[in-house]
Amino acid sequence: MSFKMNKPFLMIPGPMDVPDEVLRRCGHQVFPHYDKLTDFCPFYHQLVEKTKYVFGLNDGYVFIPNGSGTTAVNMMLASLCVPEDDVLVMHNGGFGGYAEKNLKNLGIPYTNVKGEIGTVIDPQKVRDEMKRKHHKFIYMTHNESSTAVVNPIPPIGEIAREFDALLLVDAVSGVGGVVIDMDRYGADVVAGASQKCLELPPGLAPVAVGKRAWEYMETMKNRRVPYILDFQAWKRAYIDQFEWHPQPVTGATTMLYALDWVIDNIIEEGLENRQERFRSAGQRLKAGMAELGFKPGADPKYASPVVTEFIPPKGIIGEDVRTYYLTKQNTMVGYGIRTNENGERYTFRIAHFGLAAGNERIDHMINITRKFLEEKG
């Protein structure tokens, strides 16, 4: 007998409950992933070209490999960085730390500039470190979902160009929901994922590579990159095998079919409008939670438009609230990374993008929080 899974109501910052049309397309009978006599090659070409929109990229390439956001991040690092480099990592949350783990596993040294939880890193600290030692790469997390903060890209893009470095951006939790605009902001490579603001199940790892990154790769010597992670292999397939096999590996064709529908919807709504719709849902959530004594943890100037970290009233531990949501209300939210003197996680995070941005879902979270307080007495 196969295992029967209990499906909670998802309000976590990914993966998220997905639209019915996405489920229908993902459940479609499998399409072939190659051959000029099928529809896949022209379909994939137009999908890749319009996916550039969510990255704000014109001059460069977008690839959509199978995998998680970590796949996109590792493609970015493995394709460009070598053990002789030293990457400057901006670390003000859990995913800055995750970048360091990936670099360690690849044998690439790094130096970090750390910031406080709940706010951004002062760009001057980044500039000072670049003056102290020239780093070829600056790595930043855009939407740091662990602390519900958005780190601004433009000032770091300016610093990267000032010191002739490449800016590598983890936008896994923001692509499709938070404006990135690579061309204007100065990001050179941006890694994304399907299961967050793109409203798909886990399984695709879209990544965008700008002109400066391509120029840098052309100067690299003795590159040793696993085939599946190599930007150059993906570019060769897209250009040289366009009419036959535009991805170098078997593609997740039904997932790509679902992504095509999502990208069309994002373009129709407009990414800035979409971002502000998610931000408005977050404001509704914050207002309702504030009446119950729960405060947002992020600096309001840099608060994420797609997820909010909440600090409970005195005497309440966030993990207790989270446990109540899941066991009593079958609703799942994200845990926080802040801990108290007893090592207890005292915050939690609620997403407000995709289906989670609907008024009924926001009101549901406020109502079950009220019930928690009533039952707690």
Q: Percent of the chain beyond pLDDT 90?
A: 94
Which candidate, 22, 6, 2, places its Cα nearest to that of 261? 22
Predicted structure pTM score: 0.97
Mean pLDDT of 304-322: 97
Q: pLDDT (tens digit, 9 = 90+) per residue, 192-204?
A: 999 999 999 999 9
* pLDDT score recorded for residue 115: 93
Which residues lie closer than 8 Å to 91 by C-beta, 6 or more apart?
Answer: 97, 99, 100, 112, 113, 114, 115
pLDDT > 90? residue 254: yes
pLDDT tens digits, 132-165: 999 999 999 999 999 999 999 999 999 999 999 9
Mean pLDDT of 217-239: 94
Domain boundaries, the chain: 9-13+270-376, 20-267
- Per-residue confidence (pLDDT) for residue 2, from 0 to 100: 85
* The two structure tokens encoding residue 350: 């609620």
Q: Give the model's pLDDT for residue 228.
A: 94
The tens digit of pLDDT for each residue in 43-52 reads 999 999 999 9
What span, in angstroms and rounded, lies between the C-alpha atoms of 22 and 90? 35
pLDDT in the model for residue 4: 83
- Lowest mean pLDDT of 39-48, 339-348, 352-361, name the range: 339-348
Q: How far apart are CA 312 and CA 317, in angstroms?
A: 7
Q: Are the beta carbons of 50 and 263 closer than 8 angstroms?
A: yes
Q: What is the mean pLDDT of residues 309-316?
A: 96
Q: Are strands 207-210 and 189-191 parallel, antiparallel or unpaired?
A: antiparallel
- Tell which phi-psi region holds residue 179, choosing left (phi > 0), alpha (psi between -120 and 50) or beta: beta
Task: Please state at what angle helix 154-162 crosses helix 123-132, rounded to 10 degrees.
Answer: 20
Would the pLDDT of 98 be above 90? no
Q: Are 191 and 347 in contact (CB under 8 A)?
A: no
Instruction: Note whether 173 and 196 are within 8 A (CB).
Output: yes
CATH architecture, domain defined by 20-267: 3-Layer(aba) Sandwich (3.40)
User: Per-residue pLDDT averaged across 262-287, rounded?
Assistant: 98
**Tokens standing for residue 276:** 């502000």
Mean predicted confidence (pLDDT) in 211-220: 96
Answer whether residue 1 shows pLDDT above 90. no
Q: What is the 3-state secondary structure (H, E, C) of the chain?
A: CCCCCCCCEECCCCCCCCCHHHHHHHCCCCCCCCCCCCCHHHHHHHHHHHHHHHHCCCCEEEECCEECHHHHHHHHHHHHCCCCCCEEEEECCHHHHHHHHHHHHHCCCEEEEECCCCCCCCHHHHHHHHHHCCCCEEEEECEECCCCEECCCHHHHHHHHHCCCEEEEECCCCCCCCCCCHHHHCCCEEECCCCCCCCCCCEECCEEEEHHHHHHHHHCCCCCCCHHHCHHHHHHHHHHCCCCCCCCCCCCHHHHHHHHHHHHHHHHHCHHHHHHHHHHHHHHHHHHHHCCCCEECCCHHHECCCEEEEECCCCCCHHHHHHHHHHHHCEECEECCCECCCCCECCEEEECCHHHHCHHHHHHHHHHHHHHHHHHC
Question: For residue 101, is pLDDT > 80?
Answer: yes
pLDDT(120) > 90: yes
Token readout for 160 is: 């990267």
Question: Could you tell me which residues are beta bridge partners of residue 87?
Answer: 110, 137
pLDDT at 376 over 90: no
Average pLDDT over residues 251-266: 98
Confidence class for position 377, pLDDT limits 50, 70, 90: confident
CATH architecture of 9-13+270-376: Alpha-Beta Complex (3.90)
Does residue 97 carry a pLDDT above 90? no
Which residue(s) pair with 204 in the sheet?
A: 66
The mean pLDDT value for 222-227 works out to 90
Given this model, what pLDDT does residue 31 score? 94
Q: Does residue 3 have a pLDDT over 90?
A: no
